[in-house]
Amino acid sequence: MAPALCFLPIMSTHLYLQLNPEALIASHLTPEAFGTYLAVGTRQHSSGQAVFFEIDVNLQSETLPLKDIVTRCVPHRDGTPRKSTYLAIYRALERIPVSAIGKLYLATHDGRVLGLAPTTAPRGADRCFHLYQEFCPVSPRVVSTLDPSEFCAILTDPTQPVSVPTIAFAELSLGALATDLDSTDTGNLPYSDLAHLRDCLRELQAKPGKPTKVAVRNVRDDLLYRTIQGGLYVGAGRELKYYPMPSLSDLESTHHDWWRSAQTA
C-alpha cells in the first residue's frame, strides 16, 4: 500500500528586518504575532524589546538569500507555522532598498506591538539641537544641529570621512535643552548623564562647523519609547522614510495597552 500523503497547510510568508540585533527573517507569523514572539520569547529564544520593519516579500536581490525562502520557511511537521527562518544576520539593511521597507513595529518587553506606517519626512524643525539614537547598522547616541533629513543625508554620504550606506534611527527628546542650553528645566528626561549631554551640546554651540557629536558610543540598553521625539526614520542619501509616533491623546486612548506597557520599561 502506498504511504499516505501528508499535506501541509499553505501559509503566507512575511519578511522582517529586525534592528536589535540586525537580522533578516522570514516568518509565517503576522507582524503583531511576530513582535510578541520576539519580545516574550520561548524556551529556546531570548526575550526583550523588539524593533523591526516589514519588508516587501517580493523583494528581488542578488546579494540576499531570498530565492530559497519557499523551501526553507515551511510549516513544521505537525502543521504549526514557522516562527523564524534567519536569512541574514550581517549588513542586511544596506542591501535592502528603502523603497522595499514597509511598516515599522515597536514591541514592548511584554509583547505589546505598535505598528507605524511610513510617510514623507518633514523638512526643517523649530529646535536648535537634536538628539538621535541610531539603531542599525551602528548604535551610538548622537547630538546634532542637523534636522533628520540633513542628518540622514550626511551620515550616508560616501564622500564623508565616516559614513554608512543606510541608517535607521529615532529622534529623542531633549526637552528645554533643544532650544536653551542654560535651562534648568530638564523635566523628566531619563538620560543617565545629563551633565555630559549638556557638555556635548555646548561643544556643538561653540563649533558652528561641527554638525554632530557622539554622546554615547554604543547604547546597549533598550530604547525608552516615551523619549521618542516625533518619530523614527530610515533612509539613504535624500531618500528618507518617516514613521511618526501617534499623538499623546491617541497613545492614551487608541493604543492604551501598548502605551501603558511602554512606560513601565
25-50 confidence digits (pLDDT tens): 999 999 999 999 999 976 545 568 99
Buried b (16+ CB within 10 A) or exposed e, 192-228: eeeeebbebbeebeeeeeeebbebbeeeeeebbbbbb
Q: What is the DSSP letter of 148?
A: H
With beta carbons less than 8 A apart as the criterion, state whether 47 and 41 touch: yes
Task: Between 160 and 120, name the one with better pLDDT.
Answer: 160
Q: Could you give the maximum distance between any two Cα atoms of the chain, in Å?
A: 85
| Predicted local distance difference test score (pLDDT) of residue 265 | 64
- Three cell numbers at 28? 509565517
* Distances, alpha carbon 11 to alpha carbons 26, 37, 82, in Å: 12, 17, 9
Q: What is the tens place of the pLDDT at every residue in 138-155? A: 999 999 999 999 999 999
d(CA 12, CA 29): 8
Task: Between 120 and 5, name the one with better pLDDT.
Answer: 120
Q: What is the tens place of the pLDDT at every residue in 162-215? A: 999 999 999 999 999 999 998 888 878 899 889 999 999 999 999 988 999 999
Single pTM value for the model:
0.91
